[in-house]
């Protein structure tokens, strides 16, 4: 029985060994040509999207830095005993909705204090406090 099995299996093994590289090569070539020709998103569009996203994040961080550099914001932070150096360092680690929320608050502060306004009205103070709390919460949670 063992001899018969060896006689039958040996040709099948040889056939499998002989044919496998041909099929492997064909499947590899078809897979490579399919992926090379077909893209859901073009590389140029992908690059443009990533570049736009990075530019938006940089603009958001710049708006937050600008707000934190204002003397009025620094005065409010000091009166609340908040560490602005820690908040400024946290800006680089912020991403996603946290970054957008902080940037929106910072833009509101920057817009209300534009032109060198020396008085801080309640709404501006509230926005400054919200901005600082958002940044400090993000730092504390990470």
Q: What pLDDT is stored for residue 55 in this prediction? A: 92
| Cα pseudo-dihedral 12, 15, 21, 25, rounded to 10 | -100
Task: Give one DSSP letter per residue of 53-97, joined into a string.
Answer: HHHHHHHHHHHHHHHHHSHHHHHHHHHTT--HHHHHHHGGG--HH
Q: d(Cα 105, Cα 89) in Å, to the nearest integer? A: 17
Structure tokens given for 9: 């299996």
Angle at 137 between CA 113 and CA 67, to 5 degrees: 15
User: Taking the model in full, what pTM does it have?
Assistant: 0.57
Q: 64 pLDDT exceeds 60?
A: yes
Q: Determine which of 26-30, 54-58, 62-66 has the lowest per-residue pLDDT on average.
A: 26-30
Average the pLDDT over 113-140 and give the result.
Answer: 68
Q: d(Cα 68, Cα 60) in Å, to the nearest integer? A: 13
């Amino acid at each position: 029985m063992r001899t018969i099995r060896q006689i039958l299996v040996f040709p099948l093994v040889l056939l499998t060994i002989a044919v496998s590289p041909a099929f492997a090569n064909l499947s590899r070539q078809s897979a490579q040509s399919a992926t090379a020709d077909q893209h859901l998103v073009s590389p140029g569009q992908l690059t443009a999207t990533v570049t736009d996203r990075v530019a938006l994040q940089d603009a958001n961080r710049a708006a937050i830095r600008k707000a934190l550099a204002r003397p009025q914001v620094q005065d409010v932070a000091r009166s609340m005993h908040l560490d602005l150096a820690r908040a400024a360092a946290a800006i680089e680690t912020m991403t996603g909705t946290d970054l957008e929320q902080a940037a929106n608050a910072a833009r509101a502060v920057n817009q209300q204090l534009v032109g060198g306004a020396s008085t801080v009205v309640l709404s501006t103070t509230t926005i400054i406090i919200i901005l600082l709390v958002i940044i400090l919460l993000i730092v504390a949670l990470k």
